[in-house]
Amino acid sequence: MCIVYLAAFLFSLTSEQCSSKLIEDSSQSFMERMHSGKTSFIYFGNHVNPTIKLFVEQLVMSADALQDYGISVVKVNCSKDAIANYCTGEKLMTRAYLFRGSEVLRSFDIDTVFDVNAIVSHVLFSVLFNEVRYVHTPAELLRVESTAKQNSDIVVGHIPVLGLPEHRALMEAAFVYGTKYQFVQTTGTLVLKHMGVVDPSSSQARLWFLHCKGVSRRSDPCPSTPMRKTLNTINIHTFLQLMEAPLVTESVLDPSEVDVVHMHLGVPVLYLFSQPQTQHLDRATAQTLALQLRGEVGVVLIHRDSPNVKAALKYNAAYRLPQEDVTYFTLNSAEGVVKLFKEELLQEHKLEDEEEDEEHWSDLDILDDEVSESVYRDRDLMLDLESVIELTSDTFQTTVTQNEITVVLFYFKWDAVCMAFIQSYIEVADALEGMNGVKLAAVNCGEWTDICSDQNVTSFPTVLIYRPMAEAQLYRGMLGTKCLHGFILLSLVSSPYLLSSSAEVMSFLEGDLYSKHMYLTPVRVLGLFSSTHDMGVTPFEEAARLLRGETILGLFAHKEAEQWVEGLSVNLPALLVSRGPGVPHEVYSLPSSSPTDLVSLIKQVELDRFPELTVENLPWYLELGKPLLLLFIGKEDSTESTKALAEIKRPLSSGQLDSFLPCWIHLGRTPVGRSILEKYLGFVPPLPVLVMSRLKTGEEVFLFPPERPLMAKNILQWIHDVQSGHEQPAVPGISHRLPLPCQSWHKVF
Ligand SMILES: *[C@@H]1O[C@H](CO)[C@@H](O)[C@H](O)[C@H]1NC(C)=O
Ligand SMILES: *[C@@H]1O[C@H](CO)[C@@H](O)[C@H](O)[C@H]1NC(C)=O
């Protein structure tokens, strides 16, 4: 996954596209595909006009999304490979086909599959043809119900306009839950009237759950519950979980102690107190109310005679809104309660919820297009976490205070990035298995919403590091096995490391202390103070704590510290940076500032002035926000490469390149560099090559003229020419629009 990050990042610098999952077939590969039996969505094109150009862009995005469902998206260019039957006729260019092997399941006018949502929803609907029933009239719906009775529950989606995000959300849900429920799609208004919708002309998408499985007699109708929220992925998922929850939960605990799934799903709970004498009646009331409030409010019947129940006798009911305390009240009639919820409590909450949902949806919307095997792989929603402890509301607090370090992943099962990351997370847990003081845990935020909101987790996936008596630390690194593993190992190093003699300082700087961490980072940063009473020591220690896992920091507060800056232009307090054994140390003066300012200062001095870019270190360098002066060198360490490196280094010391980030990529160690170069230039020229990518203007890339010798003075002249507008960008006029997958990686970062 690290690789994807680097690629996405560098591509986004030039607003180029991520490497796409869209396949281009030749006659040969098309023939092979026809024999493979696989499902493919294929567009046969020819020339490109503006409409087709837009369509192809959407095709690229849908290729990523449909990959999750095992469906390939393919383009055939008929002007290169004229495939019989499909590359001729007037329909050419305006139709796309869904194949299973050589059989056409369906063909679509490209006006129908106009964007990524439309492509995904239509293709999934066709693929799920036998699983999702399409009904047009109430009679057809009743036939589906009759087959399902005592067998399975039904999810009915009314989709007034096909191909919009609501349609896609329903189809994706059908893909995930299709083996559990019978899915039904309807478009007309006939079924709406049958379902009791007052204004069937409204163009809102809707969803109902028909409880057919539990009907006791086949002649009984299936009771139905409408979903009252906007039809999107997260709401459907929550709603289906609510439908699985028991209608009424009975308890002998005090309301504040009852734990029902509704609370974790952000839904209010109503508590009714029952007396032994009126138990039957109370149960019936609870049932009636629960039926009316199903999907919106959870109902709990509490046996008042239990000694655990502390409520004052004058109350016979209570409710609890998400994130709030229990409120007691006196119930006079069932209608009164329904009215209370529908007209007051839910109204307020609905508004809030809707706002929240919208936000959440926009995240999901982007991430849904993300590359991942997730939804497909986890169709049955089972995760095998083994070495990772799954936390619940009951176990969370105790677990995170028990270990020296508890790493907690907050995830959401419907989020493609989370599901892809979980694999890496498990690998890290396996690698650390048995190590003292470290434990990896996970919280499913779909189920334990309350924990996640208490911990202020709003984006997924999030990794927090907990230590006893300390604030949780956010893991800001990349979502890959190697990165997280390194971070955790470094987190175990005490920070700052307190040094007590010049000999220890030496062994710290040369990497003898923590030598087994050398492969994680050769860099050592040392704070030098003349005494432990220096005002700067405390903020430095705090900064060191904030940087645990990222940097190895030492502290030498001693009168001997003076020796380390002797003869240099810097006074104490100072920062000393060592980049590994044998590399000259760098010294910086240390201003008195807040811990967070110190953190950015330390991060900055830690960065190499002419770094080799790797997948791991890239984010820290990009944070500098400078234009890149990027040298690509080939696999072999040729003399040309060595010379080119030296030539760029020369103007560094005189500060002439300060407005840039001079850096290099070794294609042997970082193979993704080759594709980056291809994306930058459209081809891979003989190496080494130097390019400049200007972040400010976003999309321009300049290539140092290959015919000119790569020498310091030529490089400076070239930079001057670029800045004064005398050089042409290497790839003029590439699309400025970032494709969604890039943006989402960017965002996750
Ligand atoms: C097909 O190839 C031609 C020539 O290479 C190109 O101009 C055209 O844009 C391509 N068409 C599509 C749909 O990619
Ligand atoms: C969550 O944020 C609130 C408000 O910013 C803060 O008071 C609280 O301590 C935070 N909780 C955690 C666990 O960080």
Q: Is there a single domain that holds both residue 597 and residue 623?
A: no
Is 366 within the bounds of a domain? no
Predicted confidence at residue 749, as pLDDT, reads 21
Structure tokens at 372: 């991942």
> From ligand 1's centre to the CA of 80, what distance in Å?
8
Give the 3-state secondary structure of residue 725: coil
For ligand 1, pick from 22, 77, 110 the residue to mutate: most ligand atoms within 8 Å of CB.
Answer: 77
Q: Which of 225, 243, 261 is the last residue of a domain?
A: 243
On the CB side of 511, CA atoms within 13 Å amount to 18
Rounded mean pLDDT for each run of 10 residues along the chain, 749 residues in total: 39 42 91 90 88 88 88 93 82 83 86 88 86 86 92 93 87 88 88 84 88 90 91 89 93 92 89 88 88 92 90 86 87 81 66 36 30 31 67 91 92 70 85 88 85 85 91 83 86 89 88 72 89 92 91 92 86 87 81 90 82 74 79 81 84 78 86 77 84 68 88 91 84 34 24
Task: Give the pLDDT score at 225.
Answer: 94
Distance 398 CA to ligand 2 centre (A): 18
Question: Closest-lying ligand to the alpha carbon of 456?
Answer: 2
Q: Decide: 573 in ligand 1 pocket, CB within 6 A.
A: no
Q: How do beta strands 701-703 and 269-274 pair?
A: unpaired
Q: Which residue, 456, 490, 524, sits at the end of a domain?
A: 490
Statement to judge: residues 257 and 285 lie in one domain: yes
CA of 81, nearest ligand number: 1
pLDDT for 698 equals 53
Q: Which residues pair with 443 in a beta bridge?
A: 410
CA nearest neighbour of 729 among 692, 706, 701: 701
**What amino acid is encoded at 68 in this protein?**
D
* Ligand 1 center to 46 CA (angstroms): 6
Question: 254 and 331, same structural domain?
Answer: yes
The pLDDT value given to residue 748: 22
> The domain that contains 687 carries what CATH number?
3.40.30.10
User: Atom 2 (ligand 2): residue with closest C-alpha?
Assistant: 456
Dihedral sign (CA 462, 465, 470, 474): negative
pLDDT at 273: 92
- Ligand 2 pocket test, pick from 400, 443, 456, 457 with the greatest ligand atom count within 8 Å of Cβ, gives 456
Measured from the Cα of 56, ligand 1's closest atom is 13
How distant, in Å, are the alpha carbons of 397, 430, 527, 545, 663 from that of 587? 43, 40, 10, 21, 22
* Same-domain pairing of 48 and 157: no
Prior bond of 539 cis (ω within 30°): no
Q: What is the tally of structural domains in the chain?
A: 6
Alpha carbon 72 to its chain centroid, in Å, reads 23
Strands of 316-392, DSSP E: 317-320, 326-329, 389-390
Q: Strands across the sheet with 72-77, in order?
A: 23-25, 72-77, 39-45, 95-100, 103-109
pTM listed for this prediction: 0.47
One domain, residues 391 and 454: yes
Residues 574 and 626 in one domain: no
- Domain assignment present for 370: no
Coil vs helix vs strand at 152: coil
Question: Domain span at residue 100?
Answer: 2-116
Domain identity same for 499 and 485: no
Q: Each residue of 45-65: b (16+ CB within 10 Å) or e?
A: beeeeeebeebebbbbbbbbb
SS3 63: helix
Distance from the Cα of residue 637 to its chain's centroid: 38
Q: Please tell me the predicted confidence (pLDDT) of residue 347.
A: 63
Q: Which atom of ligand 2 is nearest to the CA of 455?
A: 13
**What residue's CA is closest to ligand 1, atom 7?**
47
Ligand 1 centroid–CA 522 distance in Å is: 50
Task: Count the helices and strands in the chain (H runs, E runs).
Answer: 25, 29
